[in-house]
């Protein structure tokens, strides 16, 4: 196995573990900042590492198109190219087929893309996805999968599941021996279909099991319901990864269901939109109420923006003026908030108090979501 996963403690379905990869030992639950173009937007690798991240996820499709996997390999692989010293996962390109559906056609061979950069036709097969991810040199590769949209018919869900299983076998045949490979469970909101698909994938020599096809337009409550019924039944010996999800509430629900790994663009995307996640609310920095506010974003936060004493007034000024430092400070803060959440969840599991802690955290995030915009 290219990675090793060990359980440290469980409480109910919630798990604290250690995922050991060639480049890092990653305590779980963990949050992987999204580094689409081999960078977490606006942040240096040292800053992301200082936030507590020990794994990031990079994007196979985008790096395949630009700068190209051969160039990355020439530069020593993603670790050397990006100067990220810890673990790296790469997604397969399957989600881009969903998000760029108007540019993509699907066949048993793979996805035929019209590049969003220049319109050139590119065929991404399971074998090509593995070749690219092998050249990129990530610790963990994801299989090429078919991600159906919310509201897909039972027939479409069934076809996506069957093709994803066939592609998992092709990916296993094509992957580098020293690179871990995670399979991806599909099935929409059909609990029995997802359970059956998980059993099929877990019969294969995959290093981990990912849950894909969530947060694609379905109501969050339905996602939570299905997660709570599917995730606890996954193979306990392998890491469980929920792809592309989500809010702090999503993470708390999923950790309770036995999910170990997460990624989401929200910390940096919301930062670029001038939003900071804080205790008791979501702070929208451009609001006039912060023009004279000398407080930091969140007095209880240890991120460089808060510990450095940067006031809301100053960060608002930077944001209104279009200064890049505003995006950097907000991105740092939000990244710290997400990683702090999973670290505190892990500690609560290890100390046997996760159930109470999780209910308290859920109540807090749901109370803030119920408020129209923000309170601090």
Positions annotated as catalytic residues are 91, 263
Residues in the chain, overall count:
376
> How far apart, in whole angstroms, are the C-alpha atoms of residue 145 and residue 157?
12
Are β-strands 121-124 and 111-114 bridged in parallel, bridged antiparallel, or unpaired? antiparallel
- What is the token pair recorded at 13? 């379905």
Q: Which residues are paired to 3 by β-bridges?
A: none
Q: How far is CA 306 from the centre of its chain?
A: 25
> How far apart, in whole angstroms, are the C-alpha atoms of residue 130 and residue 135?
9
Q: Give every CB contact of residue 262 below 8 A, 6+ residues apart in sequence.
A: 29, 30, 31, 32, 241, 242, 245, 246, 251, 254, 342
**Dihedral, CA atoms, 248, 61, 3, 262, nearest 10 degrees?**
0
């Amino acid at each position: 196995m290219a990675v090793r996963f060990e359980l440290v403690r469980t409480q109910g379905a919630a798990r604290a573990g250690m995922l050991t990869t060639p480049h890092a030992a990653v305590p779980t639950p963990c949050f992987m900042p999204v580094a689409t173009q081999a960078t977490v937007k606006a942040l240096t690798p040292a800053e992301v590492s200082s936030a507590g991240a020990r794994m990031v996820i990079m994007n196979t499709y985008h790096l395949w198109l630009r700068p190209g996997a051969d160039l990355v390999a020439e530069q020593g692989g993603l670790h050397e190219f990006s100067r990220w010293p810890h673990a790296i996962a790469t997604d397969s390109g399957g989600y881009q087929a969903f998000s760029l559906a108007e540019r993509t056609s699907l066949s048993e061979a793979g996805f035929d893309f019209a590049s969003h950069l220049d319109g050139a036709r590119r065929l991404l097969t399971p074998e090509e996805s593995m070749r690219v991810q092998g050249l990129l040199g990530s610790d963990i590769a994801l299989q090429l999968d078919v991600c159906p949209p919310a509201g897909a018919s039972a027939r479409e869900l069934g076809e996506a599941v069957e093709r994803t299983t066939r592609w998992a076998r092709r990916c296993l045949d094509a992957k580098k021996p020293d690179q871990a490979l995670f399979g991806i469970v599909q099935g929409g909101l059909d609990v029995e279909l997802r359970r059956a698909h998980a059993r099929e994938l877990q019969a294969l020599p995959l290093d981990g099991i990912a849950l894909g096809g969530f947060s694609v337009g379905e109501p969050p409550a339905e996602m939570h319901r299905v997660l709570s019924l599917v995730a606890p039944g996954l193979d306990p010996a392998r890491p469980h990864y929920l792809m592309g999800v989500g809010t702090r509430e999503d993470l708390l629900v999923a950790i309770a269901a036995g999910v170990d790994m997460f990624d989401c663009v929200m910390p940096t995307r919301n930062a670029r939109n001038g939003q900071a996640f804080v205790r008791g609310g979501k702070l929208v920095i451009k609001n006039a109420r912060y023009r004279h506010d000398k407080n930091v974003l969140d007095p209880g936060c240890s991120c460089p923006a808060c510990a450095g004493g940067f006031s809301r007034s100053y960060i608002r000024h930077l944001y209104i003026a279009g200064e890049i430092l505003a995006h950097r400070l907000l991105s740092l803060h939000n990244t710290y908030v997400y990683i702090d959440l999973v670290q505190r969840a892990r500690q609560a599991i290890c100390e046997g108090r996760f159930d109470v802690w999780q209910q308290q955290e859920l109540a807090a995030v749901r109370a803030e979501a119920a408020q129209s915009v923000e309170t601090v």
